[in-house]
Chains A and B, each alone.
Chain A
Amino acid sequence: MREPLVQVTNLGIGFTSRVGVTMPILRNINLAIGEGETIGLVGESGCGKSTLALAMMGYLKSGLSVLEGESLFRGRNVFDMDKRALEGIRGGELALIPQNAGQSLTPTSRIGRQIDESVKLHTSLAKEQRHERVIELLLQVRLPQPEELLKRYPHELSGGQQQRAAIAMALAGEPDVLLLDEPTTGLDVTTQAHILELLRNLAAETGTAMVYVSHDLGAIARVSDRIAVMYAGELVLEGPARQVLKQPVHPYARGLLLSIPRLKEAVVPASMPGRPPLPGGAGQGCGFADRCPMVEQRCRDKRPTLEPTATQEFVRCHFHERVEQLPSPEPPKRPDRSSQDEMDSILQFNDVAISYAKPGIVDQILGRQPNVTPTIDKIDLTIRRGETFGLVGESGSGKSTILRAIAGLWPPQSGTITYEEAESLNTSVEERSNDLLRCIQLIFQNPDASLNPRHTVAEIVAQPLKLYFGLGGDELRERSVALLEQVRLRADYLERLPSQLSGGEKQRVAVARAFAAEPKLVLCDEVTSALDVSVQAAVLNLLIQLQVDQGTTYVFVSHDLAVVRALADRVAVLYQGRLCEIGPSENVYRFPSHPYTEVLLGAVLEPDPDAEPTLTAEDVADLFPPARGCPFQRRCPRNIGDICNNETPPWRPAEFGHAIRCHIPLDELRSLQ
């Protein structure tokens, strides 16, 4: 076998505290990357995957130092190189593509100039040749109309285009190894799928080796030849992608895979108990021992070594032969929905339009509404009592705006929202009665922002109890403890501040705060997207348990189709603030009738080596909804011409209350798909 491009041997990286105690962030890492090979580094936040990727190019964040081992690039230890030598390989032979391209591009400089600078730095081409090379690079990353694009500024590109431009810059030096640090995180599903296809093709065309760092096993599965799973600063499993995904021989990898919701079945995934040790906090034994379902005394006493298996993998587990025999976890029970048709409506939308446009001074004087296409338009929905209603769509589709309207934070421009068939919700928060406010509660995406960092858990949970029920003294304390118990947190959490909790625990506190009001309707705004997958599953399970116990109705907004599938009884698909499709989730997911739903579902990435995305539409979203016709007209792969561009498509009802909004008749759509 030839010498690998990058060879990491027994690498340990950590920081040394002021009193001289070293805390390892990475321990005993061994990894080799051969030419043209793509390695996926996967793990939850804080496991050290980015630190490892950056260490491969000789970069350490401030405060970190190499404790032991080495990382070779073409046979030379990057930590022994001087600054000049490192500059020589960085960006040239070893290029990095960061997570957020929008932030890594210089906002005041045109795209063409920025890529040209990279070319200039890494080649000795003359000016005219460089221009040709830049065009070539842009074409290589499949950016349309490169001549036009050269003159644009980063903010004039969409997120996907920015990421492509960043890839083009990284390719300028014709690198041997590309390090990709979460390159698709934060992008829409369709964009993500397109970027991943691009990376796959680039790897095949140019023979560039890649290190793909991500928390998303779906993305990793799509691009990687081999997968390395990291946990608490260690490599716990490394092997061929197919093998790792199909038959993981490490309990952590297995748990991680089981905690990912799948599109195929409406099952809430199993969660993994516990939380990873803090960086540098792993003790004597196996780092995973505290969360492992098959832990034994030996695991706590002795740290396992990375051993080869019969199936060409390397695994760090004393009992890896037994992993396959672990029982499959029991999927949690979902509320019984057999009598769904009889349920009455809790929320009714009647031709609702919401606009963010503020009337100008002239409009204010004349008392008229500004003449702009509203952000959200023509929403007709009925949400039934006790169900989970999913709202899906890409970013900017108006999912959160609808929640804000229900909560009274931004009342609709026209149309009516009715609560419990009686009360109008066209009012703002200030005009609502205390009882109505209590019945509708919000849970936000990011608990770091939704919990006041200065308040203890007790203060956070007590607030709605005092506000709505006037509780105090012992009663307040008892109720607070009971609420924490409901979200499976111990009573001693009451005195903690949010900064002393893990991400999942924070979100549990946010859930407890919402349920403290004893609400009838809970609006969940991307509640799991800021969480790690193993934690996500636990929060989803918690939400279901609370619903079973209290019969709460959920409006569940998410961009993650698999999560919605796991939870929702009925789903509405939104594009540009307009409804495309609505129906029981079983039907929507099984027979994707609307072309947009088809595109969305086709782009979903699953941690399955056999799943292949079908990409039929462009990933560039429109900035504004078109004034006339179908909102999806510009990207629709099945656009049938004038009628789509000029006339609003009709609702076409299918069975079980399933309806789609398209000019193409249902039968024809179905036969096309």
Chain B
Amino acid sequence: MTTMSNTDFVKRRTAFSTLLTVLSAMASRPSGLVGLILVAFHIVLAIVSPVIAPYDFRELSAQIILNEPSSEHWFGTDNLGRDVFTRTMLGGRQALLVTTISTILAITWGGLLGVLLGLVGGRLDELLMRLVDAFLCLPWILVLLLIVVMVGPGPAVLIPTLGFFYGIPVIRMARAATHDVVALDFVTAARARGETRSTIVRRELLPNVLDVLLVEGAMRWSWMLLAFSSLSFLGFGVAPPTPDWGLMISDARSFMSLAPWAALAPVAALSSLIIGINLTADGLAKALGIDRAQKAPV
């Protein structure tokens, strides 16, 4: 194969201009616009929150335990007298960081393997797909708990674990999308030309399943956020002084009747992010012309 520099004249549509087109198509629908705004808001907040947070998230105060929302503490205080507003602002950082990296991992390995299986077919495909079926039968949260208990918590464990498990349904998705493309004549043409398998995957198949993978990735991302928050809720995600929505909900649960704000704030934050991601995924699917009703994953 010749190198990329030889294809200079082949004017690539720049990734940036494509991104702009897709984004503007998404923003043209109200639901897509709302989704994009929510996701962007959360990402920006996660980046700037350490700078703009009004209080220190560790600051305890015995005088202001379970205080109602006030002008000083917008979302009130929790059972240890910490500012709920500050903690809610900061509580998505870990979750976003871990799930974003895990999503990219899951889409990459699951997508590549799925496309390859879709192209090659045969016995390897048959065998691996049965394995995928078997994996999909497992109760995930239990498996995740088991791993965390055995290996220990923390992002270093959670990122690869989530990335691995959430890549499995992606395999199936990518394989199905590839099957639709492989039947088309341009793939036959590439085979008849004598292109290598890796070229066929890279040039002919991947560009045509990429949009399906992107939408799938957005969906997986929201699932992963829920899983991560569930782990935190159960005490296996983020270690205590670090603020995290799952953990905050868990802590505030016992005082729900006394101080509902301490639980409501992280719940609202988490739901708004997940709704935002789902709306984005929907908008993305529509902007890319994929009918999610038909191609709904497992």
Nearest B residue to A430, CB-CB: B194
Instruction: Say yes or no: is A326 at the interface (Cβ < 8 Å to chain B).
Output: no
Looking at the complex, which one of B7, B188, B189, B204 makes contact with A476 (CB distance below 8 Å)?
A: B7
The 0/1 profile, CB within 8 Å of A marked 1, for residues 226-257 of chain B is 00000000000000000000000000000000
Contacts of B1-30 to chain A: CB distance below 8 A: 1-3, 5-11, 13
Cα-based distance from A217 to B203 in the complex (angstroms): 41
Cα-based distance from A44 to B134 in the complex (angstroms): 53
Given A452-B208, A467-B193, A467-B195, check contact A444 B7 (CB 8 Å). no
Given A429-B194, A452-B204, A467-B193, check contact A462 B186 (CB 8 Å). no
Shortest CB–CB separation between residue B290 and chain A, in angstroms?
A: 14
Looking at the complex, which one of A473, A480, A513, A517 makes contact with B6 (CB distance below 8 Å)?
A: A473
Residues of chain A with a CB closer than 8 A to B292's CB: none
Looking at the complex, which one of B189, B194, B207 makes contact with A444 (CB distance below 8 Å)?
A: B189
The answer to whether B10 touches A472, judged by C-beta atoms less than 8 angstroms apart, is: no
Given A452-B186, A452-B207, A453-B208, check contact A463 B6 (CB 8 Å). no
Residues of chain A with a CB closer than 8 A to B8's CB: 473
Instruction: Say yes or no: is A582 at the interface (Cβ < 8 Å to chain B).
Output: no
Residues of chain B with a CB closer than 8 A to A470's CB: 2
The answer to whether A477 touches B194, judged by C-beta atoms less than 8 angstroms apart, is: no
Instruction: Say yes or no: is A617 at the interface (Cβ < 8 Å to chain B).
Output: no
Cα-based distance from A276 to B208 in the complex (angstroms): 30
The answer to whether A472 touches B6, judged by C-beta atoms less than 8 angstroms apart, is: yes
Instruction: Say yes or no: is B295 at the interface (Cβ < 8 Å to chain A).
Output: no
Q: How many residues of A contact B (CB 8 A)?
A: 39
Nearest A residue to B194, CB-CB: A437
Given A444-B185, A452-B186, check contact A409 B194 (CB 8 Å). no
Cα-based distance from A442 to B188 in the complex (angstroms): 10
Given A429-B194, A466-B6, A476-B6, check contact A450 B11 (CB 8 Å). no
Residues of chain B with a CB closer than 8 A to A429's CB: 191-192, 194
Q: List 28 A-B contacts (CB under 8 A).
A: A407-B192, A409-B188, A429-B191, A432-B194, A437-B194, A442-B188, A442-B192, A444-B188, A445-B185, A446-B185, A449-B186, A452-B186, A452-B208, A454-B207, A454-B208, A455-B203, A458-B11, A467-B194, A467-B195, A470-B2, A472-B3, A472-B6, A474-B9, A476-B9, A477-B9, A494-B11, A513-B189, A517-B193
Cα-based distance from A86 to B264 in the complex (angstroms): 55
Instruction: Say yes or no: is A563 at the interface (Cβ < 8 Å to chain B).
Output: no
Cα-based distance from A446 to B189 in the complex (angstroms): 12
The answer to whether B184 touches A462, judged by C-beta atoms less than 8 angstroms apart, is: no
Cα-based distance from A434 to B2 in the complex (angstroms): 15
Nearest B residue to A498, CB-CB: B186
Residues of chain A with a CB closer than 8 A to B189's CB: 442, 444, 450, 513
Cα-based distance from A450 to B183 in the complex (angstroms): 10
Given A409-B191, A429-B191, A467-B194, check contact A472 B208 (CB 8 Å). no
Contacts of A530-578 to chain B: CB distance below 8 A: none
Shortest CB–CB separation between residue B213 and chain A, in angstroms?
A: 13
Shortest CB–CB separation between residue B214 and chain A, in angstroms?
A: 14
Residues of chain B with a CB closer than 8 A to A432's CB: 194
The answer to whether B193 touches A466, judged by C-beta atoms less than 8 angstroms apart, is: no
Residues of chain B with a CB closer than 8 A to A351's CB: none
Nearest A residue to B190, CB-CB: A463
Residues of chain B with a CB closer than 8 A to A517's CB: 193
Nearest B residue to A442, CB-CB: B192
Shortest CB–CB separation between residue B258 and chain A, in angstroms?
A: 53
Residues of chain B with a CB closer than 8 A to A449's CB: 184-186
Shortest CB–CB separation between residue B202 and chain A, in angstroms?
A: 12
Nearest B residue to A495, CB-CB: B11
Instruction: Say yes or no: is A335 at the interface (Cβ < 8 Å to chain B).
Output: no
B binding-site residues for A, Cβ under 8 Å: 1-3, 5-11, 13, 184-186, 188-195, 203-204, 207-208
Shortest CB–CB separation between residue A295 and chain B, in angstroms?
A: 35
Residues of chain B with a CB closer than 8 A to A450's CB: 184-186, 188-189
Shortest CB–CB separation between residue A445 and chain B, in angstroms?
A: 8
The answer to whether A456 touches B11, judged by C-beta atoms less than 8 angstroms apart, is: yes
The 0/1 profile, CB within 8 Å of B marked 1, for residues 284-295 of chain A is 000000000000
Instruction: Say yes or no: is A451 at the interface (Cβ < 8 Å to chain B).
Output: yes
Shortest CB–CB separation between residue B197 and chain A, in angstroms?
A: 9
Residues of chain A with a CB closer than 8 A to B2's CB: 466, 470-472
Nearest B residue to A510, CB-CB: B189
Contacts of A53-107 to chain B: CB distance below 8 A: none
Instruction: Say yes or no: is A411 at the interface (Cβ < 8 Å to chain B).
Output: no
Residues of chain A with a CB closer than 8 A to B5's CB: 472
Shortest CB–CB separation between residue B209 and chain A, in angstroms?
A: 10
Cα-based distance from A517 to B193 in the complex (angstroms): 9
Nearest B residue to A513, CB-CB: B189
Residues of chain B with a CB closer than 8 A to A495's CB: 11
Instruction: Say yes or no: is A408 at the interface (Cβ < 8 Å to chain B).
Output: yes
Cα-based distance from A451 to B10 in the complex (angstroms): 16
Cα-based distance from A466 to B188 in the complex (angstroms): 18
Shortest CB–CB separation between residue B65 and chain A, in angstroms?
A: 56
Cα-based distance from A458 to B6 in the complex (angstroms): 13
Nearest B residue to A458, CB-CB: B10
Instruction: Say yes or no: is A518 at the interface (Cβ < 8 Å to chain B).
Output: no
Cα-based distance from A495 to B17 in the complex (angstroms): 15
Instruction: Say yes or no: is A380 at the interface (Cβ < 8 Å to chain B).
Output: no
Given A450-B185, A452-B208, A466-B2, check contact A437 B193 (CB 8 Å). yes
3 closest A-B pairs by CB = A472-B6, A450-B185, A437-B194
Given A446-B185, A453-B208, check contact A409 B192 (CB 8 Å). yes
Nearest A residue to B192, CB-CB: A407
Instruction: Say yes or no: is A464 at the interface (Cβ < 8 Å to chain B).
Output: yes
Shortest CB–CB separation between residue A482 and chain B, in angstroms?
A: 14
Cα-based distance from A357 to B87 in the complex (angstroms): 66
The 0/1 profile, CB within 8 Å of B marked 1, for residues 419-452 of chain A is 0000000000100101001000110111001111
Residues of chain B with a CB closer than 8 A to A197's CB: none
Residues of chain B with a CB closer than 8 A to A494's CB: 9, 11
Nearest A residue to B189, CB-CB: A450
Residues of chain A with a CB closer than 8 A to B190's CB: 463
Cα-based distance from A480 to B7 in the complex (angstroms): 12
Instruction: Say yes or no: is A459 at the interface (Cβ < 8 Å to chain B).
Output: yes
Name the residue among B194, B195, B207 with the largest chain A CB count within 10 angstroms. Answer: B194
Nearest B residue to A516, CB-CB: B193
Cα-based distance from A466 to B184 in the complex (angstroms): 22
Residues of chain A with a CB closer than 8 A to B7's CB: 459, 462, 466, 472, 476
Cα-based distance from A437 to B193 in the complex (angstroms): 6
Cα-based distance from A449 to B190 in the complex (angstroms): 12
Name the residue among B11, B193, B203, B208 with the largest chain A CB count within 10 angstroms. Answer: B193
Residues of chain B with a CB closer than 8 A to A455's CB: 203, 207
Nearest B residue to A464, CB-CB: B193
Residues of chain A with a CB closer than 8 A to B184's CB: 449-450
Residues of chain B with a CB closer than 8 A to A445's CB: 185
Residues of chain A with a CB closer than 8 A to B192's CB: 407-409, 429, 437, 441-442
Cα-based distance from A517 to B192 in the complex (angstroms): 12
Residues of chain A with a CB closer than 8 A to B208's CB: 452-454
Residues of chain A with a CB closer than 8 A to B13's CB: 456
Contacts of A474-523 to chain B: CB distance below 8 A: 474, 476-477, 480, 494-495, 513, 517
Shortest CB–CB separation between residue A152 and chain B, in angstroms?
A: 29
Cα-based distance from A445 to B188 in the complex (angstroms): 12
Nearest B residue to A497, CB-CB: B13
Residues of chain B with a CB closer than 8 A to A407's CB: 192
Residues of chain B with a CB closer than 8 A to A437's CB: 192-194
Cα-based distance from A445 to B11 in the complex (angstroms): 28
Extra A-B contacts (19), CB below 8 Å, given A434-B194, A441-B192: A409-B191, A432-B194, A437-B193, A441-B193, A450-B184, A451-B186, A454-B207, A455-B203, A459-B7, A462-B7, A462-B10, A463-B190, A463-B203, A467-B193, A467-B194, A467-B195, A472-B2, A476-B7, A480-B9
Shortest CB–CB separation between residue B199 and chain A, in angstroms?
A: 8
Nearest B residue to A523, CB-CB: B192
Shortest CB–CB separation between residue B142 and chain A, in angstroms?
A: 38
Residues of chain A with a CB closer than 8 A to B195's CB: 463, 467
